[in-house]
Amino acid sequence: MRRLLLLIILAVGAPLPAVALEVAATTPNMAMLARSVGGEHVNVSVLAPGDRDVHYLEARPSMMVALRRADLLVAVGGELELGWLPAAVQGAANPRLLPGRAGHFEAAATVALLDAGSPADRSRGDVHPGGNPHIYLDPLRMAVAAEALAERMAELDPANAAAFRQNAGNFAARMERETAAWRERARGAPGALLFHKDAVYLMTRLEVPVHGYLEPLPGIPPTAGHIQQLVRELEGRKGVVFHMVYEPSRGPDRVGRELGWPVFRMHNNVPPEGVADDYVALIESWVARLEER
């Protein structure tokens, strides 16, 4: 027994020395934001990969390891990670990251949300009365979040405050520049049918109409009846169908086939090690699909 414990202790190794600000980001997009703002002054770890639905994760020991060491948690917020992040933070026993502390940053709390104040009624599906939390697909909201994040990092590491603000300013300026070009390219796109109410942020930013959602209600998978209704409503119009890699393709494929619209399987996150270039490439991938029409 004692020997076993000793072996375990040896196997997991010694504590890691902290040099830069340790950041734990919930999703690769948030990690990208933290890297963009923190630059060389932060070490960023990602709690969850981008290829699965962030609504339905569970708190895992590896998340608690990252949170235990972190000085700053960067989350999307807006209750998006409600199903697992509170348990992971609680299990990490790191008081610096508790809601309300400087080490707890939620991007959604720094921007205005779409659909804020919708009724808290679960017969309408998995709704967020505080507003739609999927802000990470709006480059300009990400720009605002970057500036707020710079202030938070400055509070935790005042020595590098100027660098954080500079980086956030650069990121914001780039997003502004790119967005202007993206809007130009997407101008006149006939519109999109989405699976979940997430990419609505990007479509709104690009002024591309959203024709509807494959989910009859948030969190409820497409039903045959709902798909028929969508097809009836959109018959004869033009558009594209988008769904994320982790969303089933059967419903989208059927609507695409019946309407004659192209169907695209999209990513909503940068790779886990992603930086601002990857985020630009991510948004580009959406814009390019809209351009193709």
Partner 1 sequence: MNKLVLGGFAAALCCAPAIAETSGPQRDPLDPTNLRQTARPIGQAGSGNAFNPAMSIIVDGAYYWDNVGGEAFEIIEEADGFAMGDGHGHGGDDGHGHGALDRGFNLRSVEMAFSATVDPYFDAFVMILFDGDDVELEEAFVTTRALPAGLQAKFGKFLSDVGYINKQHPHSWDFFDRPLVSELLFGEEGILETGAQLTWLAPTSQYLRFGVEALQGETGGIANYSGAEPEINGTSRILEDASGPRLFTGFAKFAPNLGFDHALQVGVSYGYASSFQNTIEHSTRFEDQEGTANFWGIDGVYKYTPPGSVGGRGSIKLQGEYFYRERDLDRRDVYFACHPAGIDCSDPAAQWQIGDVRNEESFKDKQDGYYLQALYGLAPRWSTGARIEQVGLTNETGRGSGQDWDDSRRYSAVLNFMPTEFSRLRLQYSRGDVAVDGEREKFNQVFLQFQMSLGVHGAHTF
Least distance CB 239 / partner 1 (angstroms): 23
Tokens of 21: 């600000």
Instruction: Tell me the β-bridge partners of 46.
Output: 25
Least distance CB 90 / partner 1 (angstroms): 7
User: At 121, is the secondary structure helix, strand, or coil?
Assistant: coil
User: At 32, is the secondary structure helix, strand, or coil?
Assistant: helix
> Are 70 and 24 in contact, with CB atoms under 8 Å apart?
yes
Q: Which CB, 100 or 236, lies closer to partner 1?
A: 100
Can you tell me the distance from the alpha carbon of 260 to that of 202, in angstroms, rounded to the nearest whole number? 23
Least distance CB 190 / partner 1 (angstroms): 23
Least distance CB 227 / partner 1 (angstroms): 16
Least distance CB 96 / partner 1 (angstroms): 10
Can you tell me the distance from the alpha carbon of 270 to that of 280, in angstroms, rounded to the nearest whole number? 9
Q: Which CB, 108 or 240, lies closer to partner 1?
A: 108
Q: Which CB, 9 or 275, lies closer to partner 1?
A: 9
Q: Which CB, 73 or 234, lies closer to partner 1?
A: 73
Least distance CB 200 / partner 1 (angstroms): 15
Can you tell me the distance from the alpha carbon of 197 to that of 184, in angstroms, rounded to the nearest whole number? 23
Least distance CB 150 / partner 1 (angstroms): 7
Can you tell me the distance from the alpha carbon of 239 to that of 242, in angstroms, rounded to the nearest whole number? 10
Can you tell me the distance from the alpha carbon of 286 to that of 264, in angstroms, rounded to the nearest whole number? 9
Dihedrals φ, ψ of 13, to 5°?
Answer: 80, 180
Q: Which CB, 91 or 190, lies closer to partner 1?
A: 91
Which amino acid, one-letter code, is at 59? Answer: A
Q: Which CB, 93 or 238, lies closer to partner 1?
A: 93
Q: Which CB, 104 or 197, lies closer to partner 1?
A: 104
> Are 270 and 28 in contact, with CB atoms under 8 Å apart?
yes
Instruction: List C-alpha distances in Å: 141 to 93, 107, 113.
Output: 31, 9, 9
Q: Which residue shows structure tokens 């921007």?
A: 111
